Structures are given as structure tokens and as C-alpha cells.
């Protein structure tokens, strides 16, 4: 698995005639695994920290990972771009008199989109590809990412791996224990709110539900917690289809 992904990354980058990859580092396992795989290609890898009112624990884990990665791979460099003031300037320029829950989620997505813009800035000036950090259950199961935010990438090296597989690969790649032991969190709210708290289910549960869905099961096939989890999965999969499908194009009939 490891060698296959590394070879795929290197071949894609060489065919695209670029210098390497840029990866946004969050302090989570997905970005840690992705950046390590990119580093193993031997090509240039730029790890970018982009804090926006970031929780200290996320920042510390991200910096620990970058430090370790630079010590192991001489082709890895880093950059810090604090986007907090940019985010606050944006908030000052747009109206805020909306329902609090909708405003909070919209601003969380705005953080992700500011980071995407920053990564493409670095990609442009250094001749790099933006490497995505999404895994299979997030990208193709429940759509747990920001459209044109962390979903805006050039290639997705771990998008065919379940979250459990990402953790296993992370252990194999010697990602810091602080990251492997941390509860997954998207870090978009400035606190330690976990992904499980947002989704209503653990990744192990969602992986199970994704497999059941592929087998053609329905909520009626389950009871108790399994029924609840499967219904959560089906709902998220349904409402987030707009993220997973290609942009719809109106095909105009011409005489």
C-alpha cells in the first residue's frame, strides 16, 4: 500500500512536470500521513501551517509532525501563514445578522476556503501540486469536507483508504503518537470539537455503514445503535451528494 501510493504520487507529479507537493498540516492523522507519503517520493514537499484561531493542541501536534518530518526527509520544508487576521477582515466586510448555527458553519467553511486559496498560492509560486488529505469515508461516504475548501485539491493520495487504514498506515510511517492517539477533529471551530461530535458517529461506525450500503442494505435491516448509525450515514450521504458528483452542466439543445 505504502509503496504503491508513493510511486503513484511520483509518477503523477513527473508527468505533470511539477517540482513536488504542498500539503496543509492540521495536526491530524490524514495530513500527517499524506505529507509523509509525499516526502517519500524524494520530490519537494512544502508543509504549510495555516492557523485561524487554532486550538493550541492542534498547533502543537502539527508542529511536532513537521519537525519530525524535516528531520527524516531533507526534501521537506515548511511555511507558516497565520490567516487569523485575514479571516477577521473578511468577517468585518460581510453581514453577520443571520441564524447563529448557519453563520457558524458558514464561517467554518470560510476558514477551509481561505486555506485552499493559500495552498494554491504556494503551489503556483513553487510549481507544486496541492495534495489532498481526505480519506474514503469522508470523501465518498458522508461528504465530511468543505466544497472548494479542503475538497479543492489537485490529487488525492489517500482517498481510497478508510480512516482505520489511514491510522494503520500512520503507525507504519511512524507518525507521532500524539497524532495517532488524538480524537479526529477538523479544527474549523477553534476548539477541540471532535468529528464524532459533529457527525453523530465514530469513523469505525461510519465505515461499517458504508460497507452495509455497498451491500444494498436498508435501515430496516438493523435495530438499536446500528440502525441509528446507518440512518446517520444514509442522511449525510444523501445531503452531501452535491460535493461528490461532478458539477452539473446544462446541455443546451441546438437545432
Instruction: Provide the CATH number for the domain around residue 49.
Output: 3.40.50.620
Tally of domains within the chain: 1
Q: What is the pLDDT along the chain (255 residues), one digit of tens a residue?
A: 899 999 999 999 999 999 999 999 999 999 999 999 999 999 999 999 999 998 888 899 999 999 999 999 999 999 999 999 999 999 999 999 999 999 999 999 999 999 999 999 999 999 999 999 999 999 999 999 999 999 999 999 999 999 999 999 999 999 999 999 998 988 888 666 899 999 999 999 999 999 999 999 999 999 999 999 999 999 999 999 999 999 999 999 998
Predicted local confidence at residue 255, as pLDDT: 80
Predicted local confidence at residue 57, as pLDDT: 87
Predicted local confidence at residue 191, as pLDDT: 67
Predicted local confidence at residue 1, as pLDDT: 84
Nearest C-alpha neighbor of 63 from the set 49, 77, 82, 46 = 49
Q: For residue 143, is it within any domain?
A: yes
Q: For residue 138, is it within any domain?
A: yes
Q: For residue 61, is it within any domain?
A: yes
3-state secondary structure 75-120: CEEEEECCCHHHHHHHHHHCCCCCCHHHHHHHHHHHHHHHHHHHHH
Pairing of strands 76-80, 44-49: parallel
Collapsing DSSP to helix, strand or coil, 31 comes out as helix
Q: For residue 242, is it within any domain?
A: no
Q: Which domain holds residue 122?
A: 2-195
Whether 164 and 204 have beta carbons less than 8 Å apart is answered as yes
Q: For residue 200, is it within any domain?
A: no
Rounded Cα distance, 179 and 67, in Å: 13
Q: For residue 231, is it within any domain?
A: no
Q: For residue 205, is it within any domain?
A: no
Rounded Cα distance, 172 and 37, in Å: 11
Q: For residue 88, is it within any domain?
A: yes
Backbone phi, then psi, for 69, in 5-degree steps? -65, -40
Whether 187 and 58 have beta carbons less than 8 Å apart is answered as yes
Please tell me the pTM assigned to this model.
0.94
Amino acid at each position: 500500500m505504502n509503496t504503491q501510493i508513493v510511486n503513484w504520487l511520483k509518477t503523477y507529479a513527473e508527468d505533470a512536470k511539477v517540482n513536488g507537493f504542498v500539503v496543509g498540516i492540521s495536526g491530524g492523522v490524514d495530513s500527517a500521513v499524506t505529507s509523509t507519503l509525499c516526502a517519500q517520493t524524494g520530490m519537494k514537499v512544502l508543509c504549510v501551517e495555516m492557523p485561524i484561531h487554532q486550538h493550541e493542541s492542534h498547533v502543537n501536534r502539527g508542529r511536532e509532525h513537521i519537525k519530525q518530518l524535516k528531520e527524516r526527509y531533507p526534501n521537506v520544508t515548511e511555511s507558516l501563514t497565520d490567516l487569523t487576521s485575514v479571516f477577521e477582515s473578511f468577517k468585518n466586510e460581510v453581514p453577520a445578522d443571520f441564524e447563529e448555527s448557519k453563520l457558524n458553519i458558514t464561517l467554518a467553511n470560510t476558514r477551509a476556503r481561505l486555506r485552499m486559496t493559500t495552498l494554491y498560492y504556494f503551489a503556483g509560486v513553487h510549481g507544486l501540486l496541492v495534495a489532498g488529505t481526505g480519506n474514503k469515508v469522508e470523501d465518498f461516504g458522508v461528504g465530511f469536507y468543505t466544497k472548494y475548501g479542503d475538497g479543492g485539491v489537485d490529487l488525492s493520495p489517500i482517498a481510497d483508504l478508510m480512516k482505520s487504514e489511514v491510522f494503520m498506515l500512520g503507525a507504519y510511517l511512524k507518525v507521532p503518537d500524539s497524532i495517532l492517539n488524538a480524537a479526529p477533529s477538523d479544527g474549523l471551530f477553534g476548539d477541540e470539537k471532535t468529528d464524532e461530535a459533529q457527525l453523530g458517529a465514530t469513523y469505525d461506525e461510519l465505515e461499517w455503514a458504508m460497507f452495509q450500503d455497498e451491500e444494498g442494505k436498508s435501515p430496516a435491516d438493523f435495530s438499536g445503535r446500528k440502525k441509528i448509525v446507518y440512518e446517520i450515514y444514509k442522511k449525510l450521504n444523501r445531503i452531501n451528494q452535491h460535493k461528490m458528483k461532478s458539477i452539473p452542466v446544462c446541455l443546451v439543445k441546438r437545432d
